[in-house]
Each structure stands twice: as C-alpha cells, then as structure tokens.
Amino acid sequence: MTALLEARNLSRHFRLRREAPFARAPVLHAVDGVDLAIHAGEAVGLVGESGCGKSTLARLLARLLDPTGGQLFLHGDEISRESVSRFARSDRRRAIQMVFQDPTESLNPLLTVFQSIADPAGRLLGPLSRAALRQRVEQAAAAVNLPPELLDRYPHQLSGGQKARVGIARALVVDPQLLVLDEPTSALDASVQATVLQLLDRLRRDRGIALLFVSHDLNVVRLLCQRIAVMYLGQIVETGAAEAIYRAPAHPYTQALLSAIPTLRGKGQRIRLDGEPQSPVNPCATKCRLAGRCFAEQPPCTQAMPELRALPDGRQVRCHFAG
C-alpha cells in the first residue's frame, strides 16, 4: 500500500563557521539518511533524547525545511524537489500541517483566536465568503472542544490548554491528511496533557488523520501511537509496532531508553550508557553512532556503520547484533 508520506534516505546537514580562514567548514549532520513511512490514519511516535534531530526531521517532513539529500513522497509523488517557498504556494501544502511545541510562541499575540484559526484557511483554500470562512473556523473550534465565546479573545486571555487547542484547530481548518506534532503537550500539566491526547486520538479515529507525534515522553507515545521510530544522533535506530518495541526492544539504545521509564512496580534494572556521545559534527561514517557508549559493543561496531535491517517480527533495527 502506498504510504501517505514516505522519506527515503532523507538528510539535513548544516554547514558551520570555519575555524580558520582556509579550513574546510565543519558540517553538522542533524538528520542523516532517514527512511520512514507514515500511512493514512495511523499515529507514529518519534522518540529520542534532546538534540538527536527529532525536531529537524519533523520540519523536513512538514516541508518547512529543504533537505540536503534524499527524497520525500506524498501519495507516491515526490515533493522534495520543490523548494519550501514553492511548496507553500501549492495545493498540496494543506495536506501536511504542523502543530508546534509552544502554543504561546506560535500564536500571534495581535490576532484573536478567530483570526489565528482563519489565517491558514484564507491562505490555502482560496477566496471564501465571510459566512463560509466563519463556518469553517467554528467547525474547527468545535472539533477541538473550544467554546465559541473564546473566538474573540486574544492568546494572553487563554489558558495553556486552550492555546494548545487553538494550535490544533488552526491546523485542522484546512482539512489536512497528516498532522506533524512537535511535542505539543510538553508545556502542559498532566491533566491537560491527557485531555489533549484524547482529543488527538479521537481526531485520528473519526477523521482518519495520520499523526506524527514527536516526544521525549515515552509513556505519552505509548498511549497514543501504534508505531514508534527511535532516533539517535540523526539516524533512525529502531522502528516497528509500539507494543513489540515496548515489550522487547531490540536496539541497545532503545533498551536503555525504555529502562529509564518509572514504573509502579518500583525500580527496574536501569541500563546506563556510559562514555561520551559522538559529535554530530563530521561524524565517522565507518562506525556505529552508539559506539563508545554501548554496553553490547563488539569490534565490528567500530569498523562498519550498521544498516537498518528487518527482523523476523517486522521491526527494523540499525544494529549488527540485534535479533
């Protein structure tokens, strides 16, 4: 089945300032050779520690950044050849919408809630009558349980949970097929987080919208997502069904990540990754990115970069010895 959105060997590198006038400029490998497919109506969780490239990958998939290399396909049609500015003016822009991490920073303080939600509709849906625009905005607000009386308020008059709902409604107003959510609940307290997660799951079930949920909170991802992709230093190191990964993680990094989750049964055996992480600037292409920290490291790990390979249960893992 053709994926809704598919990344093939997708990369994003940033050239840094030269250390000396005639030296070669160092290159930061924020995202490095990522393969990832998202199908209609599914929720995919993207997890990993801070600085691993999750947000950069999210912006690449949402077409807010141009890739350095690789390809990105929407319904089988390549969209990575178009620049970000050109894609923003195309009819396909409405298919992929992003919900940002901090709703306070992503909402224009000079616009009312109504104006914030209406803005994408005016830009992406062509000329609309005032009545049609109001109907769309009210429907989007109702879909996220945002009371009509809040539409005339400004962001500073809203709670954190209400601002989060505005951010989601603003994305929904153009009827997207995929929502890319960059840690949308990280700034909210636990009770509001639960409400927003229930809302997102209901939208996925009722409307068939696919979700890419970027988070460092593994418990939140397990509640919402059917499939998980684990990222480390710009690469996907494990991907597969959520329950399979939580039950028996295959990659050493995934095992260490999941061992850090607190449980009601008390402390389990914590796996520590000692040593210093490798730098994402000009990383070595002939060794595993986890080398130097991995508890299962063997000589081949420092001699060849492992490929992302399939396991018998359908998962994919980037490790010489997993499985």
Instruction: Judge if 140 and 79 occupy the same domain.
Output: yes
Model pLDDT, residue 267: 57
Instruction: Judge if 217 and 291 occupy the same domain.
Output: no
Model pLDDT, residue 2: 84
* Cβ proximity of 232 and 289 under 8 Å: yes
**Could you report the per-residue pLDDT of 29-54, keeping only the tens digit for each?**
999 999 999 999 999 999 999 889 99
Amino acid at 41: G
- In a domain, residue 139? The reply is yes
Percent of the chain with pLDDT over 90: 70
- Domain hosting 306: range is 254-323
Instruction: Judge if 288 and 155 occupy the same domain.
Output: no
Most distant CA pair in the chain: distance in Å? 68
Report pTM.
Answer: 0.92
Check whether 304 has a pLDDT greater than 60: yes
What value does the mean pLDDT of the chain take? Answer: 91
- The number of domains in the chain is 2
Last residue of a domain, one of 225, 245, 271: 225
- In a domain, residue 230? The reply is no
Instruction: Judge if 296 and 155 occupy the same domain.
Output: no
- In a domain, residue 239? The reply is no
When pLDDT is averaged across residues 224-244 and rounded to a whole number, the result is 94
Instruction: Judge if 210 and 285 occupy the same domain.
Output: no
**Could you report the per-residue pLDDT of 242-258, keeping only the tens digit for each?**
999 999 999 999 999 99
Last residue of a domain, one of 205, 225, 245: 225
Amino acid at 311: L
**Could you report the per-residue pLDDT of 255-302, keeping only the tens digit for each?**
999 988 776 555 567 888 888 899 999 999 999 999 999 999 999 999
What is d(CA 289, CA 232) in angstroms, rounded to the nearest whole number? 8
Which CATH number goes with the domain that contains 126? Answer: 3.40.50.300
Instruction: Judge if 141 and 278 occupy the same domain.
Output: no
In angstroms, what CA-CA distances link 261 with 30, 108, 232, 254? 26, 36, 18, 11
